[in-house]
Amino acid sequence: MLELQDVHSYYGTSYILQGVTFSVSEGKCVALLGRNGAGKTTTIHTIAGLHKSKRGSIRFKDKQLQSLSPHQISHLGIGLVPQGRRIFSSLTVKENLTMSARKRKANDGRINWGLEKIYELFPVLKEREKNLGTQLSGGQQQMLAIGRALMTNPEFLLMDEPSEGLAPVIIDQVGDIIIKLKETGLSILMVEQNIALACKVADEILIMNKGKIVWNGTPDGLMKNEEIQHKYLGV
């Protein structure tokens, strides 16, 4: 569904993505792990059109994404849950959700995400719909960020460190939500630092180091491979 082929990207003269190749099949969740500065967020931003690649191909279904704007990429069905949630602080919970609303294009039997469906998935957001986004706890803000992305009715979700700054019990809830979303048919690429969360939800793990994918395998394969965990994840 999503395929990156030999993608290279720079910040000024800094060479960040150094030939990234991987793919995510429909309905699967792939987790991208790696140390700070490995290039994980740059990968997500490059797919979402927030950062332009210099070379290589990024294909979503039958479309090449490299020359498209973030807005056009979002319209193709790729939703983004950004690092640090980026909730709009002067808007209420409800406004944060409705501002991104877009109807599902095809009648493909999938959930048509709207306010009611989001409130079903996250009842706490209904309770707090009149609160400003900033009045929510970290976990509630993460739910709002996920809800806001779902309101665009994406077929593919990019999630950048959904566990960041959350208590273990909330991380567990976020994991359960990601599993539920996968069950609705959504395909997911998730950047994570939390190995336990990644292994709980992902079908495949990719490890990035210095702008390259250096390992890929199953969650089980990673859990059993202490050498790789130590070498690239500092465990």
Phi, psi of 213 (to 5 degrees): -80, 120
Q: Is residue 147 involved in binding ligand ATP (CB under 6 A)?
A: no
Q: Nearer Cβ to ligand ATP, position 20 or 150?
A: 20
Which residues make beta-bridge pairs with 32?
A: 191, 206
* 85 lines the binding site for ligand ATP (CB under 6 A): no
Q: Does residue 90 bind ligand ATP (CB under 6 A)? A: no
Nearer of residues 42 and 163 to ligand ATP, judged by Cβ:
42
The three-state secondary structure class of 61 is coil
Of residues 24 and 38, the one with the C-beta less far from ligand ATP: 38
Decide: is 14 part of the binding site for ligand ATP (CB under 6 A): yes
CB nearer to ligand ATP: give 30 or 151: 30
Smallest distance, ligand ATP to C-beta of residue 33, A: 9
Site size toward ligand ATP, by CB under 6 A? 11
Taking CB under 6 A as the rule, does residue 187 contact ligand ATP?
Answer: no
Rounded least distance, CB 1 to ligand ATP, Å: 22
Q: Does 233 bind ligand ATP (CB under 6 A)?
A: no
Torsion over CA: 34, 158, 139, 92 (sign): positive
- 13 contacts ligand ATP (rule: CB under 6 A): no
Q: How far is the CB of 40 from ligand ATP (least distance, A)?
A: 4
Instruction: Rule CB under 6 A: say whether 162 interacts with ligand ATP.
Output: no
CB 20 within 8 A of CB 63: no
Nearer to ligand ATP, 155 or 160 (CB): 160
The number of residues in the chain equals 235
Which one-letter amino acid corresponds to residue 147? G
What is the distance between the alpha carbons of residues 145 and 138, in angstroms, rounded to a whole number? 10
> At which residue do the structure tokens 């490890």 appear?
207
How many CB atoms neighbour CB 160 within 10 A?
Answer: 24
Pairing verdict, β 29-33 and 55-60: unpaired
Applying the rule CB under 6 A, the residues between 28 and 57 that interact with ligand ATP are 34, 36-42
Residue 174 CB, nearest approach to ligand ATP (Å): 17
16 binds ligand ATP (CB under 6 A): yes
- In whole angstroms, how close is the CB of 12 to ligand ATP at the nearest point? 6
DSSP-assigned beta bridge partners for residue 18? 8
**For residue 203, which of 224, 178, 184, 226 has the smallest C-alpha distance?**
178
Q: Which of 79, 74, 98, 87 is nearest to 142 (CA)?
A: 87
Within the chain, what is the greatest distance between any pair of CA atoms?
A: 49
Which residues make up the interface to ligand ATP (CB under 6 A)?
11, 14, 16, 34, 36-42
